[in-house]
Amino acid sequence: MFRRWIELALRPVRELGTVERLVLFGVAVLHATGIGWGLPSTDGWDVDGVAPRDFLPGLVETYTPGKYFTYPPLHLALLALLTLPVTIVQLLRAPSLAPHDLVATFLSVPVMTTFALVARVVSFLMSLGVVLIVGRIAAVVFPSARRARAWAMAICGVEVAGTYYAHTTNLDLPALFWASAALLALVLALESDEPRRLRRVAVLAAFAIATKDQAYAVFALSMPAVLVAWTLARPPSRRTDVLREALVCAAIVVGLVLVLDAAPFNPTGFAARVRFLTGPASQDFAQHSRDWAGRLSALEDAVTFFPNHYPLALAPVLAAGVFVAVTSRRGVGRVAALVPLLAALSFTLAFNCVARRVEERFMMPQMQLLAVYGGGVAVFIERSVAARRRGLPALVAVLAGAGVVLGLRLSAGMLLTMAGDARYDAERWIHEHVRPGEPVEVYGGNVYLPRLSPALTVERVDPRPVTSRNPMPGIVERQDRLGNVEARRPRWIVVGMGHAWRYLQEAHGPSDGRVLPRIQEAGLADADTRDYFRALFAEQAGYRKAHVSHYEGSAVFPPRPLHASLATDVFVFERR
């Protein structure tokens, strides 16, 4: 059985030609470089990642009556299965199953680092899976072009967000993996004109939604549009097949998502999670107002976000690819060619404009799917060679080549930002200048802090209850007003800008549909914390800046901020 699974996993690679394999190898090197970023450690630096800390507790909470976890359980269950041997060993070593004993047993560098690496390797493999799927769709959309798959894979592989999330434990990329697999199944069903194959689409779509809820938006508008177009493209006598299978497909998606999301086993917890998702989980982070001005500004930001993912040189290339795909196909084949574009539009309208958020992870599905149309470059090249002329086809080929090279530069810049992370520099400086026994005070979540030696005397201060924090071994947790620093009198203060920026920004009202998210308004409303941070950074709180850890980058590879995880400075203050 295990051998058969290996055979199935390797089949997509064996189908590739030499050029496609070289492209995949290059993408694999790009996506694997720096996969140990921030490790070894008892926690990770990837903001909103589910490993090493969250996937096991999240799985337990999902199936505990009345409780819920932020995310659906499918990927959590996969990680739990892959790390099961380590989990069993640690459970046998624990003095008891009491929560404090389990935390103490699991919260060690070897265990947490293993969990994090397993989860990151899974993300890495799924990133390659997305690249393979995008290439396969391109081969179907551009059937006459030999190198369509290679071009689509190369463009998809250098997309910045895909490169970043291949290194993290966030659920965005795993959800995209299942969603893109569903879209491939849909394209193949259309190409063969077999409505019954929609059932496979339904199962894969359910897996995507059960990995991260926002994946619904990939299908919310695209599937109805595709099914209607498919129905109309068939003779009247054969249209009922599509409609019947569409109903079966909808039943499979709804039923499977409910089962995977534990709704039958924990209905109250499931209902509470739905309320959470439609309430604070989305509305507290909305960047645009809840009106048409806000939705239009979200749409505008989505369009102008392209340079955050690809060099601008690729914009006309992808646009030309869409034109070629649509004009060169007929009937059901044209519907198949439109699937990636419709899915990208669906996610933009059904998520970005509804949740009113535009960030790299929330634009990654569109950018990765649009890479399918990069396969059109092969069509332009072949036409140019056949006609023995230059002109527009040659221009598109040049732009595409330059776009891939420049895209590689953008992703490489992101990897260098990881390698030069300011937290590494902060760790070195603290090791050289802070002596054991000198009191050190830190602020913010684990993801924003450098790894601190157990030999140091460290206290984390926050006005929130200690029980609401993610524990860090060797650090004493204290609940207190930050402004009460004179009573505590630490010698050193360490704070990352990834945490502090929210208190240093200025409040602003609605402007052209854009608003300050509620979660940031709440932070600014905490007058004590806000005023303290502003005084601290202005060196008016009794402390001076002893060291600022900063990644400068270079003219060729400038720093690449992403997901509040990268290119954030770390400040070390010393008492005057």
Q: What is the pLDDT of residues 353-374, one digit of tens each?
A: 999 999 999 999 999 999 999 9
- Tokens standing for 447? 């993801």
- Number of domains the chain is built from: 2
Q: Which domain holds residue 187?
A: 2-78+113-418
Has residue 436 been placed in a domain? yes
The secondary element (H helix, E strand) that includes residue 496 is strand 492-496
pTM: 0.95
Has residue 97 been placed in a domain? no
In this structure, the answer to whether residues 442 and 357 fall within a common structural domain is: no
Identify which of 537, 237, 190 has the alpha carbon closest to the alpha carbon of residue 336.
Answer: 190
CA–chain centroid gap for 94, Å, is: 34
pLDDT of residue 155: 97
In this structure, the answer to whether residues 414 and 447 fall within a common structural domain is: no
Say if CB 156 and CB 135 are below 8 A apart.
yes
In this structure, the answer to whether residues 399 and 452 fall within a common structural domain is: no
pLDDT band at 391 (very low <50, low <70, confident <90, very high): low
Q: What is the mean pLDDT of residues 339-352?
A: 98
Has residue 105 been placed in a domain? no
**Residue 305 predicted with pLDDT over 90:** yes
In this structure, the answer to whether residues 404 and 521 fall within a common structural domain is: no
pLDDT digits (tens, 9 = 90+) for 151-182: 999 999 999 999 999 999 999 999 999 999 99
Has residue 93 been placed in a domain? no
pLDDT band at 389 (very low <50, low <70, confident <90, very high): low
Q: What is the mean pLDDT of residues 49-71?
A: 95
In this structure, the answer to whether residues 342 and 229 fall within a common structural domain is: yes
Has residue 325 been placed in a domain? yes
In this structure, the answer to whether residues 177 and 256 fall within a common structural domain is: yes
In this structure, the answer to whether residues 413 and 432 fall within a common structural domain is: no
3-state secondary structure 405-460: HHHHHHHHHHHHHHHCCHHHHHHHHHHHHCCCCCEEEECCCHHHCCCCCCCCEEEE
Q: How many CA atoms lie within 13 A of 260 on its CB side?
A: 25
Has residue 26 been placed in a domain? yes
In this structure, the answer to whether residues 400 and 453 fall within a common structural domain is: no
In this structure, the answer to whether residues 139 and 252 fall within a common structural domain is: yes
Identify which of 215, 203, 221 has the alpha carbon closest to the alpha carbon of residue 72.
Answer: 215
Query: Beta partners for 544?
Result: 574
In this structure, the answer to whether residues 279 and 346 fall within a common structural domain is: yes
End residue of a domain, out of 364, 383, 418: 418
**Residue 387 predicted with pLDDT over 70:** no
Domain CATH number, residue 492: 3.40.50
End residue of a domain, out of 353, 384, 418: 418
Has residue 83 been placed in a domain? no
In this structure, the answer to whether residues 534 and 553 fall within a common structural domain is: yes
**Residue 239 predicted with pLDDT over 80:** yes
In this structure, the answer to whether residues 406 and 521 fall within a common structural domain is: no
Phi–psi pair at 474, nearest 5 degrees: 85, -5
End residue of a domain, out of 367, 402, 418: 418
